[in-house]
Structures are given as structure tokens and as C-alpha cells.
Amino acid sequence: MQLYSFYLPDQGMKSFGILKENGVVDVGSRLGAQCPDLKIFLQRSSLANLAAFREMPADYVFNALRFLPVIENPGKVFCIGMNYTDKHKEFAETQEAPTLFIHFADSLTGHEQPLMKPEYSPPASSSARHTLYRRSAERHQCPK
């Protein structure tokens, strides 16, 4: 079961739901104000409570909505592991323990949504993100 947060532009409404093959089942609108977003739902409930919604037909087709970050307002985002085999080689990763790293809330985006980067930034992979930001800051420092 895949959960998503989304925005309905025609209605000016945000919600969350279950991904289906042909769209999304709108769980948020069915639960109403008691669970206005996915984060609150997960804090107050459990995935088992979604069973009743799993077999429902999709309420909205994909082109009627815009995906948001899964959790729009996360507190802390901890990530575990390395995404790419090349990274294991680059860092000579031989430890059995997973690698821990963080992402910041403003670096998250919804499925199929554009990624924001400064116009003056060269193309960069996600692994170059820290270098890219450091260089951007150096270029735009105020003169002493």
C-alpha cells in the first residue's frame, strides 16, 4: 500500500490517500477534520485502520491532482543506507552497519514535481548537493 499527500487544484484542497493503479482513494476527505493530513493520521492511528479504504475505487485520476511531499511538515527526516552502489565504492563502504544521514524538510518534493535549484547552479546529482550549496553561498557573499 502506497500513501500519498496531494493537492486538488480545481478544489483548492489538500488531502492524502492510497495510490491505486488508476488514481488515488481520498482517505483524508473521508476522515475529515480529525485527520487533516497524513502526519496527523499516522500519529493518531495505524496503517491497519486503512484496510477499509484499500478496496475502494479511486476518487481522483492522476491528472486531476498534484502530488505533495508525502509528509508536508516533517519534524526530522532521518535516512538510512546509501542509495547507490557507486557510493559504497566511493566511500569504501565495508561496514555492516547502515549509514545514517538527514534531509531537510524544504528539500522534499512530491512525486513528478519539479526540483528547485538556482539558475546559476551547474547540473548536479543528489550526491553533489552539499558542494553545490557551499559554492552558491561562496559566490554570493557580501564584500568585506
pLDDT tens column, 40-64: 999 998 888 898 899 999 999 999 9
Residues 6+ apart with CB under 8 A from 63: none
Q: Which residues pair with 8 in a beta bridge?
A: 13
What predicted TM-score, i.e. pTM, was given to this entire model? 0.68
Residues 6+ apart with CB under 8 A from 56: 25
C-alpha closest to that of 41 among 2, 3, 67: 3
Question: For 84-107, what is each residue's pLDDT tens digit?
Answer: 666 666 666 566 667 777 877 777
